[in-house]
Structure 1
Amino acid sequence: MSYFYFPRAAAATRAALNCSLRIGARSITASACQHFQATKSNLEGSLPDFDRAAEIKYSKPPNPAWKKGDGANDAGASLGKNHVEIDPYAEGRSLFSNYKLLVSGVVPRPVAFVSTRSKDGQSVNLAPFSYFQVINHDPPLFVVSFVGSVEKAKDTLRNLVDTGECVINIISEHFLDAANATAAPVPYGVSEFGIAGLHPAACSTVQAPRVRESVFSIEGKLVEVKEFESRAQPGKKTSVLAIIEGTRFWAREDAINEDQDAISLDVLRPMSRLGGIQYGRTREIVEIGRPAT
């Protein structure tokens, strides 16, 4: 088992938190940061407070008496609605419109909070990705997709390709703000652990650290990387799909059951990604049995 020490507040991190971080030739001044905070405050000021005491509720399906052939539970209302056909490459349509459409329509999406370590072992990286899913259990397989290319890889993908290792941490309500802070652009080598105020913990099968605050984490080894080309600009690499095999699971003691085969939602309190700057909470659960035949 490997152990690491990461200073919680290096000079660059303290500067970032004090709103005076210099990135390359650019400087985020105190006034600019105050403007950002004011905008953020104005946006959040119009919203109700986060309900920390909200309980997870369980309910029956919409129509417990539903039987085969009954169809939708809206008395045919949805059949009276028309649909709009959208060509993702229609003339004049921006590719960003496709992005906005997909992230607002394919929801909720689980978030992989990925921690990696540089090849030389001198730095660690932490970032959230909502192009993510578990795809198998034997072996445990996961996919994480990155925008861009391997040649111009950003920090997480660069470390993942260089070392073949990572940790997938699941984001919970109690550290959403900290996790969101890691999405900010910082120079390679600056640890988002310090920026977010989160704590690294040692792993068993990989050198990358997991997030101590995470209720559920998965150590992973890179299986395969596949690049995809743009349809609008042939020859340009625009996406990288990474297949990762889980090699060790970490579950908080108060979240795992005795058989170690289920995580309590009441403890996990997972956050999901929606469109724009929105996240979703898992608060209402519908239980519906699978059909016997």
Structure 2
Amino acid sequence: MLKTQRASSILRIHKTLLNKSSIAPNDRYAALTLLKACWSSSSGASQFDHRTSFKDVKPPAPGWKLGAGLDTSLSEGALQWKEDIQNSKRKTWDLTSMESMRDSYKLLTSAIIPRPIAFVSTLSEDGVPNLAPFSYFSMVSANPPLLSVSFSLSPRRPKDTRENILKTKEFTVNIISEAFAEAANVTSAESPASTDEWILSGLTKESSTLVKPPFVRESAVSFECELYSSQDIGLPETSNPTTTLVLGLIKKVHVREGALAEDGLSIDAAKLRPIARLGGKGYSRLTEGFELPRVSWKESKEEYRRLADQSSEKS
């Protein structure tokens, strides 16, 4: 009860500060920063609410017009963002001279977020199954249908998933949903190559049709893939690879019908309930989404010319 009252007080003061135009920007920024710190210390981690569902919301600035940039008149978020720009200095890292790759990893994985997770199932040449999550993962192309997964090369031993893909040329990629997040996470342990992560996780194998590695029955979306290409990558000044990039040709897609949208082809994010990686030990979920219309150049070119003329006059 006390925590709830404290949180309500913080939010009330926060709203008051935003509405007080008489408060100097620097003072308002300092107060907001302090309130954010208070909120963090008072709230802690809340209980995971399975009832929270994905919902469609309006865009952050529905009235935005061409050339408006960061329009602070349209949202409180834009106002706060502008104050942060004005009052917060930039810190810069030169990654070419960064001594610790661990620092580089910490910086990049906390900046490039949220990252989708490839839950990859493979078999060794001897038939030993392997299951592991990787967040260096993305769609590459729809034609041909390609996805990418990359693997950091450990000085101790290469990733079993990488070795299996390069040797057998086959794998499946499964999308992780909220309901089995912990089961998927446990497979990230650096266990011996002989370990069967399916046993560790308690997840269920489903037979693939075109490749030998099984896919995850609990996953609402799974891709059967064959190796399209691989590329070892290293620092330009050395010949030692640090990462292997794998492109997988998607041969077949399995989607649980309950995860499909009304058109019967698209995946409904509200039903998929995917999780994504953040920095450190962090994960995230999808709770809101908004649509932005694709801008038509035909309808926008006259306004662009007007803005370009104004810019020329000012310069």
Q: TM-score, normalised by structure 1?
A: 0.79
Residue range with higher mean Cα deviation, 56-65 or 125-134: 56-65
Q: Which runs of 5+ in 2 are unaligned?
A: 1-43, 72-77, 298-315
TM superposition shift of 1:231: 5.2
CA-CA distance at 1:187 after TM superposition: 1.3
One-letter amino acid of the structure 2 residue matched with residue 137 of structure 1:
A
User: For structure 1, which runs of at least 5 residues remain unmatched after alignment?
Assistant: 1-45
SS in 2 for 1:87: coil
Q: CA deviation at 1:236?
A: 2.2
**Runs of 4+ deviating beyond 6 Å:** none
Deviates more, 1:211-220 or 1:82-91: 82-91
Q: How much does 1:225 deviate?
A: 0.8
Structure 2 residue aligned with 1:103: 109
SS at match of 1:99: helix
Going from structure 1 to structure 2, the CA distance change for 1:150 and 1:217 (only over 3 Å counts) comes to farther
Q: Which has the larger radius of gyration?
A: 2
Residue 218 of structure 2 is aligned to residue 220 of structure 1 = no
Structure 1 residues 1-293: aligned runs within 5 Å: 47-73=45-71, 74-75=78-79, 76-77=82-83, 79-80=85-86, 81-90=88-97, 93-121=99-127, 123-148=128-153, 152-230=157-235, 234-257=238-261, 259-293=263-297
AA in 2 matched with 1:107: I
Residue type of the partner of 1:195?
A: L
Q: Secondary structure at the match of 2:61?
A: coil
The residue that corresponds to 1:29 in the other structure is none
The whole-number CA distance in structure 1 between the counterparts of 2:192 and 2:101 is: 27
CA positional deviation for 1:150: 11
Provide the aligned C-alpha RMSD in A.
2.1
**What's 1:38 paired with?**
none
The CA deviation at 1:196 is: 0.3
Q: Aligned-pair distance for 1:191?
A: 1.1
How far the C-alpha of 1:206 sits from its partner, in A, is 0.4
More helix by share: 2
Cα 1:151–1:246 change in 2 (3 A) is farther
Structure 2 distance, partners of 1:166, 1:100, is: 28
Task: Mark the CA change 1:151 to 1:48 in structure 2 (over 3 Å): closer, same or farther.
Answer: closer
User: How far does the alpha carbon of each residue in 1:190-222 deviate from its partner, in whole angstroms, 9 at most, with x for none?
Assistant: 210110000000011100000000000000010
| SS of equivalent to 2:257 | coil
Identity of aligned residues (%): 38
| 1:78-134 residue CA offsets vs partner (Å, 9 max, x unmatched) | 54243222101336x31111100000000000000000011232x110000000000
Does the 8 Å CA contact 1:150/1:158 hold for their aligned counterparts?
Answer: no
TM-score (normalizing by structure 2)? 0.74
